[in-house]
Amino acid sequence: MESLNTYLKDSPYVKKLKKVLSVKRYDHTIRVAHVAYAMAKAHNYSSKKAVVAALLHDYAKNHTVKKLLHECDKYHIECRKSELANPELLHAKVGGAKLAAHEFHIEDADILNAIKYIQLVDQVWAN
């Protein structure tokens, strides 16, 4: 992978994120991409996979609850009771499980699972 800043500058994901995320959420996403890049390098993991997952982890974060629930129904995403009680938690499943695959044609299971499950890291950092 070329340098992170070059990748971010040329990334089709970044262009789309600028259109769908609030400025605050976009800035958060870029910071997460920097952390993911550093962690991947430190642990000899694919920096590209880590950065793509980091960039797309909040792709559905600005969706309304109604839209998140609609996407879950549309893509047959199973929702736990805790997620139905707090539907904003579904953004990672919706973004990771389906939208990244459908809108960005991502098929790599490592990337999709990282997007889907990174919400657990977000919850720990938020506390």
Q: Which of 18, 57, 16 is nearest to 35 (CA)?
A: 57
pLDDT band at 119 (very low <50, low <70, confident <90, very high): low
The Cα–Cα gap between 21 and 117 comes to 20
* All domains of the chain in start order, with CATH: 4-126 (1.10.3210.10)
Give yes or no for a contact between 25 and 62, defined as CB atoms under 8 angstroms apart.
yes
In the predicted structure, residue 122 carries a pLDDT above the cut 60: no
Give yes or no for a contact between 53 and 60, defined as CB atoms under 8 angstroms apart.
no
The pLDDT of residue 97 is 63
pLDDT band at 31 (very low <50, low <70, confident <90, very high): very high
What are 60-79's pLDDT values in tens digits? 888 999 999 999 999 898 89
The pLDDT of residue 34 is 93
In the predicted structure, residue 1 carries a pLDDT above the cut 90: no
| Residue 49 burial (10 A CB sphere; 0-12, 13-18, 19+) | middle
